[in-house]
Amino acid sequence: MNTQANLNLLRVFYSLLNTKSTVSTAKALNVTQPAVSKQLNQLRELLQDPLIFRYGSSNGLTPKAESLRGLVSETVGNLNTLFEGHSFDLLSSDIHLNIATNSAIIRGWLAGIIGSLHQEAPNLSVNFVPISEHVEKGFNKGLIDLYIGPLPIKADIPLEIMEVITQPVRCFMPKKHPLALSTDPGETLSVDDLKKYAFTNDRAGFSNTDECGKYFKQLGVTPKEAFSLMEGGSALTTIKSTSTLLIGAYELSPEFHRDNELTSRALPGNVPLLKVGLVWPKYKNACSKHSWFRKRFIELWNRNYS
């Protein structure tokens, strides 16, 4: 089989892994459905596996197809990077990135940084993807260019990781909260303090992580959850209006420092560290546009927030 045919099959295979449908793949690639079905049969013969199977009204991927997802995604990403070129004009080039992150990071840091980068690259466009359990799948499918959020993160393809924040979590509360009124800013809270009051669960932040659960367990505390925020809610605004406590690492957040109605206290026991970083597929290292964005992001981050 010649090289061109191999590249066409790779393109079809990549789309089929994401859509699980010959009809959807045909639409995505602007070809006919019979042509895709023919190439699927070639792939099945080459790989000695059905790859896609029908169950009920849906399609699924075989274990072999799932195992190849990371390799295919990385290979297609490398090819896209190769053909993109290594130089570009900031003023005229289209730069599009899919960034997985959460609303707190967008409001606190990203919005300002992206605004600054728009002045350098007017055609920069960023699509924010909510952080969820699907981030790993997004990397594997080549749907996420960059992740900015809590570490660790993993995927089936090789990743690059750069930490930008490492800090101990603290207990945040309104200044009018009874716990704030009965303790000094430099004081460490007691276990009894944490048992006494209700919490807000920031499901996009530290309070919804395994580390938070382990921390409370070691203290023998079952937190009283008063509010649970989905992605998009402001945890700091919520605790201010509900007089609840929040466990997290908001000390560097501009949102926290702008609000003179909030305060924080140190936590007792073996306090976990929250690590936030940038994560991207290794094959993106060869992409000049991606490299420019990362470099400038880190420069602006260090200048404004570190």
Q: Quick one: fold of 95-164+275-304?
A: D-Maltodextrin-Binding Protein; domain 2 (3.40.190)
Angstrom distance (rounded) from CA 105 to CA 129: 12
The better pLDDT of the pair 3, 211 is held by 211
* Two tokens, residue 297: 């992001």
Of the pLDDT bands very low, low, confident and very high (cuts 50, 70, 90), residue 86 is low
pLDDT on residue 186:
92
Q: Quick one: fold of 170-271?
A: D-Maltodextrin-Binding Protein; domain 2 (3.40.190)
pLDDT on residue 189:
95
**Terminal Cα distance for the chain, rounded:** 54
Where are the CATH 3.40.190.10 domain residues in the chain?
95-164+275-304
> Each residue of 219-250: pLDDT tens digit?
999 988 887 776 545 788 888 888 889 988 77
- Owner of token pair 């053909």: 83
pLDDT on residue 295:
93
For domain 3-61, the question of CATH label 1.10.10.10 is answered with yes
Where are the CATH 1.10.10.10 domain residues in the chain?
3-61
- In terms of average pLDDT, the best of 141-150, 194-203, 215-224, 297-306 is 215-224
pLDDT on residue 232:
45
- Owner of token pair 């061109």: 4
- The single-letter code of the amino acid at 174 is P
- The single-letter code of the amino acid at 95 is I
* Listed range (166-170, 243-247, 282-286) with the worst mean pLDDT: 282-286
> Each residue of 5-49: pLDDT tens digit?
578 888 888 888 888 889 988 888 889 999 999 999 999 999 999
